[in-house]
Amino acid sequence: MKSRATASALCSATPRQSLKSGHATRPFVSICPPTRRISVEDVNDFRRGRGDLIFSLFMMGLALFFAVFFFTQTGWDDRKLPDNMAGYWMDQVGLTVPEGRLARLGRILKQGWVAPLLCLCILVPAAMWNLRGAFRAYSWRKRFRQPTDVGHEMMQWLRALEYVGWFVVYTALVPVLGYLVATLLLGTALPWRLGYRGARWFGICLSVSFAIVLVFRSGLQIRTPVNIWLYDQLPQGMETFMQVWF
């Protein structure tokens, strides 16, 4: 009888304590399994996930896309090079004595096709090497019957596109509502989406957003669209003030 009374007393004490505190505290539960949580030691630890092959194929396609359009979009047809490249390089390194005035190497390097060519010389081999490693990892998984489903990993990549949409909407709102209102909306709505809710966080986000406007628009005078729909609805003096400072 005594043990039963003690157990009932303990059971009845728990809800009373939660009622006194005003709200029931919920323990934190991580959605990441203990084996997949990121630590400081694992930051530089490279591992190929299930979706690595798809990502490598995408990067290889992007590199080939740039390579195909290189000759038509970079000014390759209008390039200006010496007629005798072998003799030109021998003159540059001092192996021969040039006849007349020698064209400087900087004039060649400043042409528009040089930088894209150098990038392609790095991007295409790197994409091919990365695709080779991704295919070997995928083949290893298939051989030893490891999981190869990429649905969850691809969904995580697609979920990140949501925040691209946030900034697309933000840039579309600036010509309509102005830099001040659009920044205040983004600075409060985006933290709310991330879980920073409540009156305290709303005040912090609103203050930080307004400070950003004061620094970049009022202080540094960054350029914004001239014709803003919301400012056009204001009286003349107020419209000019908002266009100049906000």
243 within domain boundaries: yes
Report yes or no: 179 and 242 within 8 Å, Cβ to Cβ.
no
- Domain span at 196: 157-246
Give the model's pLDDT for residue 15.
44
Give the model's pLDDT for residue 17.
44
4 within domain boundaries: no
190 within domain boundaries: yes
CA distance 169 to 164: 9
188 within domain boundaries: yes
Cα distances (Å, whole numbers) of residue 19 to 1, 8, 22, 23, 28: 28, 17, 5, 7, 20
Residue (of 216, 224, 218) closest to 245 by Cα position: 218
Q: pTM higher than 0.75 for the full model?
A: no
Amino acid at 32: C
* Domains of the chain: total: 1
216 within domain boundaries: yes
Give the model's pLDDT for residue 117.
92
Backbone angle region of 26, left / alpha / beta, with phi > 0 → left and psi within -120 to 50 → alpha: beta
Residues of the chain with confidence (pLDDT) below 70? 1-44, 84-105
85 within domain boundaries: no
Report yes or no: 180 and 213 within 8 Å, Cβ to Cβ.
yes
Half-sphere exposure of 232 (CA within 13 A, CB side): 8
176 within domain boundaries: yes
201 within domain boundaries: yes
Task: Express the helix, strand and coil content of the chain in percent, nearest 5 each.
Answer: 70, 0, 30
Give the model's pLDDT for residue 159.
87
Over the stretch 191-228, which tens digit does the pLDDT of each residue have? 999 889 889 999 999 999 999 999 999 898 888 888 89
Structure tokens of 34? 């203990």
Give the model's pLDDT for residue 13.
45
The tokens 């020698």 sit on which residue? 102
- C-alpha 13, offset from chain centre: 50
Give the model's pLDDT for residue 86.
66
Over the stretch 123-138, which tens digit does the pLDDT of each residue have? 999 999 999 999 998 8
